[in-house]
Structure 1
Amino acid sequence: MNKANVLVLYYSQHGITKALAESIMLGAEKAGADVCLRTVPRVSATIEAVEDSVPESGAPYVTHEDLIQCHALALGSPTHFGNMAAAMKHFLDTTSSLWLKGALIDKPAGVFTSSSSLHGGQESTLLSMMLPLLHHGMAIIGVPYAEPGLHQTSDGGTPYGPSALSRDGKSTLSNDEKSIAIAFGKRLAQHAIKSRNNS
């Protein structure tokens, strides 16, 4: 069996999107994949990276090579006015060279997000994050309703991808949010492994 490398790429400001990323990583590892956890630097108001090239702590910053080497991608960002954060959009806007080469075509990919209110634009953020992945020719993976957490959650969780609600500044996931994220990571990894074994 060919080992699959799943890239979990996220941007997090207060920790809950990072918690989703770590749960997705756990699910992908349970499915037998190697996982690469990466983030992007903050940007200034002029949309330029404003941090050192190596973060002080946490996941390293993503590179184009990470995208080329991965067999599947989980992409996560907090919700900013119903869209992804500028830092993630800024990074994705630098990937035209990968698009020209078709470097990401047919790789499984999915998205995840968080917001501070229940109707804070989670689903529109998830859908908007899919757009650049579709342009890259990636195969979008969501969360099927066979996942029990989708039927019982009163916090985050959507068929478009895992999500979390950071109500009152909470930075930990509810049991349903965590189970949905783990199930998503497992499903994404399984698709990557299957794709590797069929190639």
Structure 2
Amino acid sequence: MSQAYILVLYYSRHGATAEMAKTIALGVERETGMEARLRTVPAVSALCEATEPDIPAEGAIYCSEEDLRNCAGLILGSPTRFGNMAAPLKYFIDGTSALWLTGALIDKPAAAFTSTSSLHGGQESTLLSMLLPLLHHGMVYCGIPYSESALMRTSSGGTPYGASHHSGADNDRSISSDEQALCMALGQRVARLAGRLQGDIS
């Protein structure tokens, strides 16, 4: 039997969301018996002729329906686009009707993370926009509890709705120690809950 994994599925334009995904994956793998599987989605284009290569030149490979179907839990990540998730991630999620019809994701834990260039640029609304399709899939949404002390200290990213990062107008702000701690905590929490829901981990 293959090892249970948490799917960390994200879209990243300038790299900040990808860095968050890697940090969340480290948190996932703190939990015994859980693997983190990093996956991304291709960009979308208004040009009908435009296509993306089957394998990205760098970073995580593209997510397949099987990656999603067989995960023990899901953590979605996207930069903020006018207070909403980015179009490439939305486009991918819009194509998951077959999983919805079969109930493949019901009762699996899920969470979300985001990066914004401005401090009040829609972090929480973006996280909530990612929550909606997860609820439609019957997933169990988990945020970050206030028992995580970094949630009370942070002066940039970090919300009870999920992990977040303030990347700055030029995307040159690195992930702060508090943001990093919250990313790790979110990954570990989803992995822990997934194990408990599967009955494999106490």
Question: What letter corresponds to residue 13 of structure 2 in structure 1?
Answer: Q
Unaligned runs of 5+ in 2: none
Q: Determine the C-alpha separation between the residues in 2 that align with 1:9 and 1:165.
A: 20
Give the drift of 1:142: 0.4
Between 1:168-177 and 1:105-114, the stretch displaced more is 168-177
Question: What letter corresponds to residue 164 of structure 1 in structure 2?
Answer: H
Count residues in correspondence: 198
Task: Give the ranges of 4+ consecutive aligned residues of structure 1 lying more than 4 Å apart after TM superposition.
Answer: 46-49
Larger helix proportion, structure 1 or 2? 1
Partner of 1:153: 154
TM-score (norm 2): 0.94
Question: What letter corresponds to residue 61 of structure 2 in structure 1?
Answer: P
2:16/2:171 contact within 8 Å kept: no
Q: Percent identity?
A: 56
Question: What letter corresponds to residue 80 of structure 2 in structure 1?
Answer: T
Partner of 2:132: 131
1:4 has 2:24 as partner: no
Pick one of 188, 197, 202 that aligns with 1:195.
197
1:41 has 2:42 as partner: yes
Give the aligned CA root-mean-square deviation in angstroms.
1.8
Q: Determine the C-alpha separation between the residues in 1 that align with 2:163 and 2:172.
A: 17
Alignment of 1:138-177 (within 5 A): 138-167=139-168, 168-170=170-172, 172-177=174-179
Give the drift of 1:196: 1.2
Question: What letter corresponds to residue 21 of structure 2 in structure 1?
Answer: A
Larger RCO (CA within 8 A; separation ≥ 6): 1
Partner of 1:112: 113
Q: Determine the C-alpha separation between the residues in 2 that align with 1:30 and 1:171.
A: 26
Cα distance change of structure 1 residues 46 and 84 upon mapping to structure 2, 3 Å threshold: farther
Give the drift of 1:182: 0.2
| 1:166-190 CA-partner distances (Å, limit 9, x unpaired) | 1142252110000000011010100
Give the drift of 1:53: 1.2
Q: Determine the C-alpha separation between the residues in 1 that align with 2:23 and 2:126.
A: 20
| 1:127-146 CA-partner distances (Å, limit 9, x unpaired) | 01000000000000100000
Pick one of 169, 182, 198 that aligns with 1:180.
182
Give the drift of 1:50: 3.1
TM-score (norm 1): 0.95
Give the drift of 1:151: 0.5
Q: Determine the C-alpha separation between the residues in 1 that align with 2:114 and 2:47.
A: 24
Cα distance change of structure 1 residues 182 and 93 upon mapping to structure 2, 3 Å threshold: same
Unaligned runs of 5+ in 1: none
| 1:59-89 CA-partner distances (Å, limit 9, x unpaired) | 0100110011100000000000000000000
1:100 has 2:116 as partner: no
Q: Determine the C-alpha separation between the residues in 2 that align with 1:5 and 1:102.
A: 18
1:3/1:193 contact within 8 Å kept: no
Question: What letter corresponds to residue 150 of structure 2 in structure 1?
Answer: G
Q: Determine the C-alpha separation between the residues in 2 that align with 1:190 and 1:48.
A: 43
Partner of 1:50: 51
1:6/1:35 contact within 8 Å kept: yes
Cα distance change of structure 1 residues 156 and 47 upon mapping to structure 2, 3 Å threshold: farther
